[in-house]
Chain A
Amino acid sequence: MIPQPEPKADILARRDSIVVALRKLVPASGVIAEPLRLKPYETDGLSAYRQTPLAVVLPETTEQVAAVLALCHREGVRVVPRGAGTSLSGGALPMADAVVVGLMRMNQILDIDYADRCAVVQAGVTNIGITQAVQQHGFFYAPDPSSQLACMIGGNVNMNSGGAHCLRYGVTANNLLGLRIVTIEGEIIDIGGAHLDAAGYDWLGLLTGSEGMLAVVTEVTVRILRGPEGARAMLAAFRSNEIAGACVDSIISSGIIPVALEFMDRPAIHACEAFAHAGYPLDAEAMLIIEVEGSVAEQDGLLDRIKEICRAYDPISLKVSTSAEESAAIWKGRKGAFGAVGRISPDYLCMDGTIPTSRLAEVLGRIGEMSAACGLQVANIFHAGDGNLHPLIMFDANDPTSFHAAEKFGADILRLCVEVGGCLTGEHGVGVEKRDLMGVQFSEIELEQQRRVKSAFDPDWLLNPSKVFPLRDAAPLAAE
């Protein structure tokens, strides 16, 4: 079990009265305190870790969130914000003495403005829900994390979620205009709005990716974009990781930025093909999915140029989709990668480091050596354009030795990412999973500066206090 700060004994002792007080603030069904009904909130997408919270509150308005936080602040109760609970880094893992504030009942789209290309949505609206609400007019919300059917925009903001199309459209931070937040004191603050570049400090930028440690986000103003005329994908398969990596470099240096540029290694190709039957080449060591946008003629022009570049790298196969169905099939394998790996291994850890793209072949080589040394299989999926690597480490959760080996393997991969000039997490967040590795990337002075920024928002360290920062250091602050 992952270490947590010591629960506050006085809070545990006052549990019943805290629950009674919460019930006065939100509708009756919005406070959950019965052990059986707390079960679904014990964990998130990092299901190896579990902890029953003190209680769960499901507010329906920003004002209710404010009332709940004001109460928790007054009583010294820790708060863990939660969206859909899809975090892969344990960002929503509860604490025994914490109230989980779930935003899933705040699921309304409040305004859509096509002329100004923005929408105001509550934090509990799903990522895909935004696109679904605007697609009849040809618009979409750009960031597309793999969990987009379930994950909520409030969670996306807190983790600064990415997706497969970041190379062209950016991550969550690049697609926001405004936030309504509630501070731990229960004050409601609007940041930004429907306009660009709010004056003063970039609170929007700081809050995005702050993992629930600074404030609770209740409403989000997002940019919505008009979609392209069309998009088409192609597959290119190569004889080695080195060759595929060199081909990626050539595409970028030719001046073409595909909207997506995904890399899969041999184990990932095999797992996904068995699952999706997408026609992936099983004799390849590495495969690229390359997507371009525009009119049919523009797509043809770009794909022809990309094919020509690929041909210089002795590809095993080049396959350009000729229809929307074929493009969908190509993506089905990639988007189903997690499920596919789940079929061949009882459990897996999905890692999320970023590396300079020029170091790809070297990093994959070293991951291969580590895999052989620890006896755990790994499949690598990589957003090749932006260097975001997702090694999927396969293990058996019923075997504690296997789980610990997988965790160690994962940590070693992330250390390697930092060593070659990259970072611990590209889009999943630090959460609890990578918290104890923060010292690999940051000096103690840098961590202290970040902690002081958290303290500026949350002096008592009540908001999601067990996340992001190494615990041995956070504990004294949190215990104050």
Chain B
Amino acid sequence: MSATALLPASRQRPEVPADEAGVAAAIRAASAAGEPLLVGGNGSKAGLMRPVQAARGLSTRALSGISLYSPNELIVSAGAGTPLADVAAAVAAKGQHIISEPPDFSALLESDLAQTIGGVVATNLSGPRRVTWGATRDHVMGVRAVNGIGETIHSGGRVLKNVTGLDLCKLLTGSHGTLAVLTEITLKVLPAPERRGTLVLSGLDPVQGVAALAAALGSPYAVSGAAYLPSLLAARIPSLAWFKGPVALARIEDFGLSVAYRCDRLRADLAAFGHAELLDDGASRATWEGVRDATPLVGEDSAIWRVSVRPSAGPAVAAAVSAAFDARWFLDWGGGLVWIAGPASEAAHHAVEAAARAAGGTWMLFRAPEGLRAAVDVIPPEIPALARITRAVKASFDPKGILNPGRLYRGL
């Protein structure tokens, strides 16, 4: 390997093929040369997971454009490099939306690059609606991709129900470009709700707050967002600032009459937790965008983690990390998603790991300097029996290990 091969490709100019055949050719060339590829779209999430050492870069950003949108069939297909905003706007024009409410972490990740639909699928990041309506991976109906030997494969298709063969759509979704390079994606979409409303219970401690969220999510009113913010972080979302205390939030999205009716009923059901205030459609939108994009943590000059646990364990994770370091945190997904900001140190990371493990959950070091991301387990290591399968599956797609090597696990 030459000296330049050791330079991160993010500092070099990536190859930007104009079509899928070009992606395949670039991968075959890298495979023939035995040189690793840093794979991405626009690179808005290049700072996630472990740093990749690669001689070459490959961007799918030129594979841009919506190839099929059939609103009556609830299906949209687009090139992997299509900006997410373009897809969102196209479906919004027909009164529909992307179900998993993909977040925009550009502020959090200090990137001014527009995220692509391929990036959203490759990272399987989902917003607050995930708790009720599923993750991005639940709505990927089809993919086209090129594996590490340059072969083009498709899985799934353009229909909503499909169990034909192994579900490689799910395997590739969230694989961070380590198995194959996504070239085209087909998502299920749904009618966007006519209206949103959010009930706000203020002054509850984290355990009471999560109990209120559990009651809301366990109600018949189809709550589609459930978050808890301590007062300091709530104050950083303008629509919540005037509550002047910690807040528990429950969102309902539906036809206007249903939102009014359900918010009323839910408020009565939650009376034991105090009187819930109602945020109207506009305030709800602003509030949940803030929760979705973790904007209360944007100004934190620190490392950031996402921990996923059973919802009732969220407060215990928050308490454990707060005991270990000066932590800023808030809860989404009914308490199950714990966002944590704290010092970018191995000690803090190990405290987060321990808290997640104790709660039987999982973690992701979401933002940190390269040094820390290279030094620790950014996601939990797998037990040996599963790690063997992981290596074998990786080799089945990418036998030479040239696609985003080391991104998920050291040496993989």
Give me the interface of A with B, judged by CB distance under 8 Å: 113-118, 138-139, 159-160, 162, 166-167, 170-171, 173-174, 183, 185, 187-189, 191, 193-206, 208-210, 213, 226-229, 249, 252-253, 255-257, 294-295, 297-298, 301, 354-358, 383, 385-388, 421-430, 434, 438, 441-443, 445-447, 449-450, 452-457, 459, 468
Contacts and interface: CB of A to CB of B under 8 A. Distances in A.
A407 B152 CA distance: 32
B161 A438 contact: no
B151 A449 contact: yes
B390 to A, nearest CB: 6
Contacts of B194: 255
A454 B71 CA distance: 36
B390 A200 contact: yes
Contact of B218 (A114, A294, A425): A114
Contact of B312 (A116, A388, A442): A116
**Most chain A CB neighbours (cut-off 10 Å) among B71, B157, B310, B385:** B310
Contacts of A171: 161, 163
A388 B382 CA distance: 37
B242 to A, nearest CB: 30
Contacts of B112: none
Contacts of B175: 201-202
B167 interface: yes
Contacts of B382: 200
A206 B395 contact: no
B198 interface: no
A8 to B, nearest CB: 24
Given A173-B138, A386-B159, A457-B389, A356 B153 contact: no
Given A162-B163, A174-B134, 20 more contacts: A138-B220, A160-B167, A167-B160, A187-B385, A197-B126, A199-B308, A205-B171, A206-B170, A210-B166, A252-B74, A252-B191, A294-B258, A297-B261, A298-B257, A354-B161, A356-B158, A421-B157, A426-B159, A438-B164, A453-B168
Interface string B363-398: 110000000000000011011011001101101110
Contacts of B219: 226
Contact of B174 (A202, A421, A441): A202
Given A441-B164, A453-B171, A199 B379 contact: yes
B310 A193 contact: yes
Contacts of B168: 206, 449-450, 453
B105 to A, nearest CB: 15
A255 B167 contact: no
Contacts of B395: 456
Contacts of A174: 134, 138
B311 interface: yes
The list of the 3 closest CB pairs from A to B, nearest first, reads: A205-B170, A456-B392, A199-B379
B35 to A, nearest CB: 23
Given A185-B385, A189-B385, A445 B174 contact: no
B161 A383 contact: yes
A206 B390 CA distance: 12
B165 A438 contact: yes
Interface string B248-276: 00000001011001000100000000000
B214 interface: yes
Nearest to A442: B165
A226 B334 CA distance: 14
Chain A interface, >50% SS class: loop
Interface string B159-191: 111111111111101110001000000000011
B124 interface: yes
Contacts of B292: none
B10 interface: no
22 contacts: A113-B310, A116-B310, A170-B134, A189-B386, A191-B386, A195-B310, A196-B336, A197-B308, A294-B258, A295-B265, A298-B257, A354-B159, A354-B162, A356-B75, A386-B159, A387-B161, A422-B159, A423-B157, A423-B159, A425-B163, A446-B165, A457-B389
Contacts of B218: 114-115, 117, 139, 226
Contacts of B277: none
A430 B162 CA distance: 10
A249 B364 contact: no
Interface residues of B, number: 85
Contact of B73 (A356, A438, A445): A356
A356 B75 CA distance: 10
Contacts of B161: 162, 166, 171, 354, 383, 386-388, 426-427
Contact of A228 (B153, B222, B360): B222
A252 B75 CA distance: 12
A50 B126 CA distance: 46
B309 A195 contact: yes
Contact of B220 (A229, A253, A256, A423): A229
A197 B158 CA distance: 24
A185 B94 CA distance: 51
A459 B154 CA distance: 23
B159 A115 contact: no
A450 B211 contact: no
Contact of B383 (A189, A354, A427): A189
Contacts of A386: 159-161
Contacts of A117: 214, 217-218, 311
B364 A199 contact: yes
A456 B157 CA distance: 24
A376 B306 CA distance: 58
Nearest to A229: B220
A429 B308 contact: no
A450 B138 contact: no
A171 B163 CA distance: 10
A227 B72 contact: no
B45 interface: no
B393 A453 contact: yes
Contacts of A297: 257, 261
Contacts of A206: 166-168, 170-171
A112 B220 CA distance: 18
A201 B175 CA distance: 6
A394 to B, nearest CB: 24
